Structure 1
Amino acid sequence: MTAQPQEHPLIRVREVRSLERSAFARKLRERSAELGTPLGTGRDGVLRWESGRTPDNLTQLVMADVIGIDSALVESHPWPQWLQFDPLQQPNEYPWSGPGTVGALKDVIGSPMDRRTFFLGSAAMTAALFSWLTADPVAAAQLTTGRRIGEGAVTTIERRVRELRLADDEDGGGTLIRDTAATLAAVTDLLTNRSHTLAHQRRLYAAGADLARMRAWAAFDVHGRCDDVAFKAALQAAHAADDPALGAHTLTFWAAASYNTGRAVEAHALASAALAAVRGRAAPRVEALVLARRARARSHLHDVGCWRDLDAAQTKLEAARLDQTGEPEWAYWFDGSEYAGSLASTQLAMGRADQAEKGFALSAREAAGTVRTQAIYLVRAADAQLQQGHVEDACATAHHALDITAEISSQRTTGPLRDLAAALASHSHIPEAREVRERISATI
């Protein structure tokens, strides 16, 4: 299946300025006339650019002038990458300190659809990774004003985080966006307005990191967007908690959201940074899940190094079965079924559909208790079957996936199901294919 497409950045340029396509086109015409290079751009021209067509160089320079972006950036970055420098869409920058981390987490609490930006440019992402890997631990005396909290308050927060994590396993989707925000607001309030021991402070930061990560993942789940700003806030909170393994866990989800939205190069960088932080220093299961995620990123780049990562992940997972010493509770989800799913997804991306089909079938059976995961594996299994020419089998599997998809709020199967429907178009002479296409169209 293809990666979920990112919304074209020109759409966000217009949205933050409250401009319809016709109004944006008018601004381009007016400014180009002032510059002595009149353009005839209309609403349809803007629509074509947002649909994938590249404007000519003169139009891009006029557009940059209207937006407020230096023309040198137009020359040094291809379309539409230079739109990331839109001055109205730059995220707030927070220092890698206690107060800075709280500020970053508070930004996450607001609806991700209301924030000005989701996307960090490559340079900003690199800077975030460097800061996470090299910054000093958070000082113990930060944020210790007001009445001291005790074990009961921290334990209550951690229990709620655990409940939300399990809810994410089952469904994900819109309710998780709301519920993580409410709990994250409580965490930031405790960090800001109450005093606590260093141990309790770090546990609160760890809770904030997991909540911000879940919120970012839920935004991807529902909207198909990789929310870099929320993932970065989660990374900062993991650093404030002095927990490199938790930071690496955040990076693996950031990587997955990246390679599923067409950003495989960034995904590889994120997963590699995670591996650098935990290799030889974390529980075997943690290393296994990081290696598996990097394998997935590499498969999107058609890099044969993915097989080495998977072999290493399998070795680490086998070690984890024998020894769970020091294993964080959040690592529970990466088990044999998840490994099999990662292997099958990698096989599919690398053109081994026959092997992938068997792996997805196994993973779907073992994931019966987690409905969303089972639905995703079934859609991928249908894709693998179709790639082998097994149309009727693919249709039967797709029906099973659609039955399950109706029970959940997650939208992560939507894009793959649309891709499957498109692939089945050439088989419309087969009744089963027509039926599945009609059902997909009616469902999503």
Structure 2
Amino acid sequence: MIHRPPTALPPDLLADDDVQRALAAHDFGAVFRMARERAGISYSKIAAECDIKPERVGQLARGSGRITSFEKIVQIADALRVPGHVVGLAPRPWEAEVAPAPSPTGPSLHRRTVLQVATAGGLAAALPALHHPAPAPARITSAYVDRLHERTARLRRLDDILGGGDTLRVYLGEMQRTKTLLRDGSFSDTSRRRMTALLAEQTQQAGWAAFDSGHSREATALYQESRTYAREAQAGDLYSNSLAFLAYESLSKDRRAAVAFAEQSCAFITDRTPSTVRALLHERLAWACAVDQQPIGTDRALQAAHQALDEAPAGEPQPHWAAWVDHQELDIMAGRCWTELKRPLRSVPILTRALSAFPDEHARDKALYLSWLAEAYLTAGEVEQAATTTSRALELSTGVASVRPRQRIDVVLGHLRPYANVPEVRAALALAGP
């Protein structure tokens, strides 16, 4: 593979008001035109860096068409080394000018430490062994694909402590790199199929980060793209997971369609489906049923999820993208489901028990789960406890690069406002701000 030197827009060009306006409007045609006219960067070099056909670059420069794909906008911004805030995207953590922080060591990191290091040097420098691997070999072997799978597993763990606003660029970058390898590399049939399955997995992770950072339409497109790759790779578990993701994403728009997606994902379960994957698919079906106010379907799916874990063969290998599903996760999901179904006598005990052992380092998720506990307390008429729990969720959600905790907390705050004369409610509303 030939490695080209990076194309970066010169600082004086980036400072140009016309260029700034064009970037903010995602008018890359104008940017390409000005890059050639004012900085001497040829259309062919731009095309090579941005993975666009040269004739397409010329058409864009002449004002014909626009770049509208979020994924492509991110790719172009990265290829031209344009700061994310300039193109209206969340700023990269490493674009902030702060003193470098020491690199952490050890297998586990607290969220605060990761954020400090990420701010100074970028997410790739924030965790051990997350730097880009060495250039790909001339022929992609299964052993090399194994190394990329391991890398993807390490990067996925960023989602435990960081929000989608922090991780989206990382996951999109990994996905784009795999696409490039599939396009340019030499493979055996087996290694190509495994590489395509890896791309399906990475695309799902990018879709999740897009969803978490508030880019719903882009998340749906990525999940659909992942389903195509999973089908091509004959990766049944990943195909089912893409349907489960689509179910999760569809709930705010079409509950019945979401339930249908979730039911379809479970229909692909076989005797060879790993236990954590079965549990994951069933718990997402339970959630879709709960939001659609189907208590019988919810209970049945929750029982199937627990049964999948209870009957797991000893030593059964689990894919890393589902290995996080355990009985604590299922208890939290059960509590969320019963909260949606207005069953606080069921939801409060199970959420209280599960969240008492849930680490604060997973701040986004804990804030989200506390919002359901607060809502369950409110349904039970425990206003003070609901307000106190909401305040705790607000504290945890501060600084998390995810839109979901505050969206959920705002729902609970709306229910609390009629009780503004209660001291605990006043404290929660004051903490939330205007």
* TM-score under structure 2 length normalisation: 0.66
- Specify whether residues 398 and 112 from structure 1 end up closer, same or farther in structure 2 by C-alpha distance, changes over 3 A only: farther
1:166-245 alignment, distance < 5 Å: 166-223=157-214, 225=216, 227-245=219-237
1:380 Cα deviation from its structure 2 partner: 1.1
State the alpha-carbon separation in 2 of the partners of residues 238 and 294 from structure 1.
20
Q: Which residue of 1 aligns with 2:280?
A: 289
The residue aligned with 2:268 is 277
CA–CA separation in structure 2 for the residues paired with 1:362 and 1:199: 46
Give the whole-Å Cα distance in 2 for the aligned partners of 1:425 and 1:187: 49
* SS of residue paired to 1:413: helix
Q: Which residue of 1 aligns with 2:369?
A: 377
Structure 1 pair 224/366, CA: closer, same or farther in 2 (3 Å)?
farther
Q: Percent identity?
A: 25
Partner of 2:314: 323
Among 134, 157, 165, the alignment partner of 2:156 is 165
1:248 matches 2:245? no
Distance 1:317 1:224 in 2: 33
Tell whether the 8 Å contact from 1:354 to 1:385 is kept in structure 2 after alignment.
no
SS of the aligned residue for 2:262 comes to: helix
1:95-143: CA deviations, max 9, x gaps? xxxxxxxxxxxx67325899xxxxxxxxxxxxxxxxxxxxxxxxxxxxx
Structure 1 range deviating more: 224-233 or 423-432? 224-233
State how far apart, in whole Å, the 2-side matches of 1:112 and 1:233 are.
17
Partner of 1:327, secondary structure, is coil
How does 1:331-350 map onto structure 2 within 5 Å? 331-350=322-341
Q: Give 4+ residue runs of structure 1 displaced > 4 Å after superposition.
A: 111-114
Q: Distance in 2 between matches of 1:170 and 1:396?
A: 23
One-letter amino acid of the structure 2 residue matched with residue 243 of structure 1: A
Deviation of 1:233 (Å):
0.5
Unmatched tracts of structure 1, length 5 or more: 1-17, 19-106, 115-145
Q: Aligned to 2:187, what secondary structure does the other structure show?
A: coil
Tell me, what secondary structure is at the counterpart of 1:409? coil
Q: Secondary structure at the match of 1:266?
A: helix
Deviations 1:192-247 (A, max 9, x none): 01111222212211221121111111111111625321101111111222110111
CA offset at residue 343 of structure 1? 0.8
TM superposition shift of 1:263: 2.3
* Aligned-residue offset at 1:164: 2.1
- Aligned residue identity for 1:173: G
Structure 1 residues 224 and 361 mapped into 2: Cα distance closer, same or farther (>3 Å)? farther
**Contact 1:174–1:222 (8 Å) recurs in 2:** yes
| SS of structure 2 residue aligned to 1:278 | coil
**Change in CA separation of 1:254 and 1:172 when aligned onto 2, cut-off 3 Å:** farther
Output aligned runs, 1:390-429, within 5 Å: 390-429=382-421
Closer, same or farther: CA 203–365 of 1 in aligned 2, 3 Å: farther
1:361–1:377 Cα contact (<8 Å) kept: no
Task: Say which SS state the counterpart of residue 399 (structure 1) adopts.
Answer: helix
Q: How many residues align?
A: 305
Once superposed, what is the RMSD of the aligned Cα atoms?
Answer: 2.4
Distance between the aligned counterparts of 1:382 and 1:279, measured in 2?
Answer: 38
* Residues 372, 410 of structure 1: 8 Å contact kept: yes
Q: Which amino acid aligns with 1:390?
A: E
Following superposition, the deviation at residue 176 of structure 1 comes to 1.5
The AA in structure 1 aligned to 2:250 is S
Deviations 1:136-195 (A, max 9, x none): xxxxxxxxxx94223454234223211221011222321211001111111001100111
Equivalences for residues 344-363 of structure 1 within 5 A: 344-363=335-354
Residue identity in the other structure for 1:392:
E
Residue of structure 1 equivalent to 2:93: none
Distance (Å, rounded) in 2 between the aligned partners of 1:360 and 1:204 = 39
Q: Is the 8 A contact 1:365 1:374 kept in 2?
A: no
Gaps of 5+ in 2: 1-24, 26-68, 77-136
Q: Secondary structure at the match of 1:331?
A: coil
Which residue number corresponds to residue 109 of structure 1?
71
Contact 1:108 1:233 in 2 (8 A): no
Measure, in 2, the Cα distance between the counterparts of 1:113 and 1:197: 28
State the 1:272 CA deviation: 1.2
Q: Distance in 2 between matches of 1:237 and 1:310?
A: 29
Q: Which amino acid aligns with 1:162?
A: A
TM-score by length of 1: 0.64
Q: Contact (CA 8 Å) 2:368, 2:404: kept in 1 or not?
A: yes
1:376-428 deviations in whole A, cap 9, x for unaligned? 11111111111112111112111211121114212211111111111111101
Residue 369 of structure 2 aligns with an amino acid whose one-letter code is Y
CA deviation profile, 1:239-258 (whole Å, cap 9, x unmatched): 22211011112222221222
SS of the residue corresponding to residue 140 of structure 2 reads coil
